[in-house]
Every structure is written in C-alpha cells, then in structure tokens.
Amino acid sequence: MSTRAAAWLAWTVLALCVALAVLAMGLDIYTPPTKYEPHFAVLAGIPLLVYPTIGALVVSHRPMNAVGWVLCAMGFVFEVLAFSRAYANYSLFAHPGSLPGEKAVDWLTLYFTPWEVGPGLILGAVLLVLLFPDGKLPHRGWWAVVLTAVCGTALLSYRNFLWVTRPGPGAVVEELGRHGEAILLVSFVASLIPVIVRLQSAEARERQQFKWFAYGTAVFLGALFLMDAALQIGGPWARFVVIVTGMSAIPVAVGIAILRYRLYDIDVIINRTLVYGLLTAILVSIYFGGVTATQALFQRLTDQQDLPQLVVVASTLVIAALFTPLRRGIQSFIDRRFYRRKYDARKTLEDFSAQLRDETDLNALSDDLVGVVRETMQPAHVSLWLRPDDTPLKVRQEA
C-alpha cells in the first residue's frame, strides 16, 4: 500500500470512529435515565477517540509502522462498543421499535461489553508490545507468539459468545475458555521478553521511546489500582475519569515515542510524577490520618460526633505549611535515588560556583576546573591551556 493510500485509509477509519462517537452521544441525549445510567460506555467514546487519532497520525508519518494500525483497530472497537450501547438503549428505553435491527443490536450490545471485548483488547496489547517502537517483530520466530495470542483470543471469545447466546454452554466450552485464558496470559508474558532483549542493545533514542511506553503503561496500571479508591472517595464519576485517563495514557505515550515529539522530556515528566505523586500520597495520609485521629479523640472526650470546623481549618493550614518543605525533601530524595549522575553533576557545579567567589590562587583554580570537567562530563581526556593575555580560561575535551 502506498503512503497516500495508507494515510487516506487511516483517516477514513478515524472519521468513521468520530461519526460513531457523535451518533452515540446524540442517541444518548434522547435516552431517558435508566438503571444503566450514567452510560459510561457511551461517554467513554469521546475521550477514547485518542486511539484512532494517534493511530492515524502514526500511519500518516510512519505508514510502514504497524503500531498505528493496531491503535486504529482498538479505537474502532471502542467506538463500536459505544454506538451499539447507545443504539440499544435508545431503541429499548426511549422509543421501542423506532429503529431498525433492534433485536440484532440488542444482541450485539450483550456481546460488545467491556468484559466480552477484553480478549480482543489483550490481543491488541500483545501486538503493541511486540511491535513497538518500529512496527516490526524482533525476529520471524515471534510470529508464534502472535498466533498463540490469536488462538487464545479466539477460544476465550467463543466461550464468552456462547455465554451470551446460550446460558450454560457446557463443560467442554468452559474447558476451552480456561485454555484460552491460559494461552492468552502466556502469550502476553512472552511478549515482554523482546522488550528486555531490545533494551540490552538499545541506543539512547530507543531507550527514550521505551521510557515513554513504560510511563504510559504505569499510568494505566496505576488507574486500575486506584479506580476502587476513586469510587469510594468521589463516586462512579471519579472512577470513570480515572479509568479513561489510564486508558488514554497508552496511545498518547506511544504516539509521542514513535513520532519522536519532545522525546527527551520523558525524564522530566517521570521525575515530576514521582515527586508530586509521592507528595500527594503523604499529604493525603497526613490529612485524613490527622482528621480521623482527632475526631476519634474528640468523640472520646466530649461524646460529640461532629468535629469542630476549627480543627478542619487547622489541618488544612498544617498541610499547606508542610507542602514546600516536603516537596523539597522528596525532590532531593528522588534525585539522589533515581537521578544520581545528574544530581552529582549539579552538586559539583554548585560547589565549584561557590568556590569561585573565594578562590584567588590561579593554580588551585585550574586544578579545580579540570576536576569539575572530569567529574561532570566524564571525557576521555582533559587538558587546560592558559594563554599569556587576559582571555578567559578555555577547556578542551578529547573524546
């Protein structure tokens, strides 16, 4: 397929996904509230347009990279899920019998649920891991992992399909489903092996690409871990936002890595995420722990259930006062623990800058300058020449 044809096809898929998302939202607006409200599957259709969007961009700029097509396919599945759910809800609850194919779409909705399409999405994840970042398999032998994942997805989907259409499909089908789950899990674990192998010989640019992919995956896994806590704290809507954010992180990270847009900013992003994530966790623990302990003590002493407003205000002020010193301490800890080389270089330069203000001996200053260059930049050889005139000192590096 030519570059132009591939780009047109990818943008056509994106246009179809946008049309499905818009139609789904339009039907959902005219659907009365039901026990299924809020329609999260429908609402997710808009933010999850990031999958076909990133996929179309990757195909347009890297038409030979299969990762773009995988993202387009995953996005199309999401939008079909959103549209079928909105179509069925409208035809069942808003105007029964007003839309054609009501029974067919109702059956499709029963099958196209997040649980039922899960095997297909896991297959997409396996393909993303295997094909990232250049869109090619590391070796021809890895086609066996792809075929294994396809077989596991087929068996598991067949079991799920019979669950929907024929309750109690039988022991044979159940056994096939269990085999499909095991095969799909094994193929997913096997797909991680090429990542480890590639990292051993990866260049600097490819390492940054893998960092982006790992960051997106970490955000997704963090969303899965925090969605129950979000449900307890903020309700279903908070859980919905957390899940959508986690699912959107992977295509965004993959798109940035493949298109190489601000590729080296990932180190700063990871640093800030570690600092402010840990800071938020500590402050939230201090706040709720302090309020809970104070409330328990207050109830024990006064037999009153309501905590005075003054205590809540005081807790908030304590959190505000602790923010800056905690942030500085956590930043210093993260730099020393995870960014030791950059931290040491910065500390060396800071110490040398302070020494420049007090040092007057030119020979001692020359030795210090050579030592700083050797420690921070780590060249193979360092030489310092002092010219007889008043020109500044010059340092030459030889790789």
Domain boundary assignment for the chain: 3-261, 279-338, 350-398
Tokens 């056509």, residue located: 12
Structure token digits, residue 226: 């925090």
Distance CA 114, CA 161 (A): 13
The pTM (predicted TM-score) of the whole model is 0.73
Question: In tens digits, what is the pLDDT along the chain, a chain of 399 residues?
Answer: 678 888 899 999 999 999 998 888 888 877 776 554 556 667 777 888 999 999 999 999 888 889 999 999 999 988 888 888 788 777 776 666 666 666 656 555 555 555 556 777 888 888 998 888 888 888 888 888 889 988 888 888 777 777 656 666 667 777 877 888 888 888 888 888 888 888 887 788 888 888 899 899 889 888 888 888 888 877 778 888 888 888 889 999 999 989 887 777 787 888 888 888 888 888 888 777 776 777 666 666 666 656 566 666 777 787 788 888 888 888 888 777 766 566 566 666 666 676 666 666 666 667 777 776 666 666 667 777 776 665 555 555 544
Query: Chain-centre distance of CA 23, in angstroms?
Result: 28
Would you say 189 and 152 are in contact if contact means Cβ atoms under 8 Å apart?
Answer: no
* Burial bucket for residue 33 (CB in 10 Å: 0-12, 13-18, 19+): exposed
Would you say 384 and 395 are in contact if contact means Cβ atoms under 8 Å apart?
Answer: yes
Distance CA 245, CA 47 (A): 9
Query: Chain-centre distance of CA 18, in angstroms?
Result: 22
pLDDT at 388: 66
pLDDT at 56: 93
Distance CA 139, CA 103 (A): 46
Structure token digits, residue 26: 């339009």
Query: Chain-centre distance of CA 210, in angstroms?
Result: 12
What is the residue type of 106?
D
Distance CA 336, CA 390 (A): 39
Query: Chain-centre distance of CA 322, in angstroms?
Result: 29
What torsion, rounded to 10 degrees, do the Cα atoms 82, 84, 89, 91 define? 150
CA proximity to 13, closest of 62, 77, 67, 65: 77
Residue 73 CA: distances (Å) to CA of 51, 125, 127, 370: 8, 11, 11, 56
Helix (H, G, I), strand (E, B) or coil at 183: helix
Distance CA 8, CA 11 (A): 5
- Looking at the DSSP bridge assignments, the partners of residue 394 are 385
Element (H, E) at 266: helix 266-302
CA proximity to 66, closest of 145, 148, 129, 142: 129
CA proximity to 90, closest of 42, 161, 45: 42
Q: What is the DSSP string of 186-245?
A: HHHHHHTHHHHHHHHH--HHHHHHHHHHHHHHHHHHHHHHHHHHHHHHH-HHHHHHHHHH
* Burial bucket for residue 225 (CB in 10 Å: 0-12, 13-18, 19+): exposed
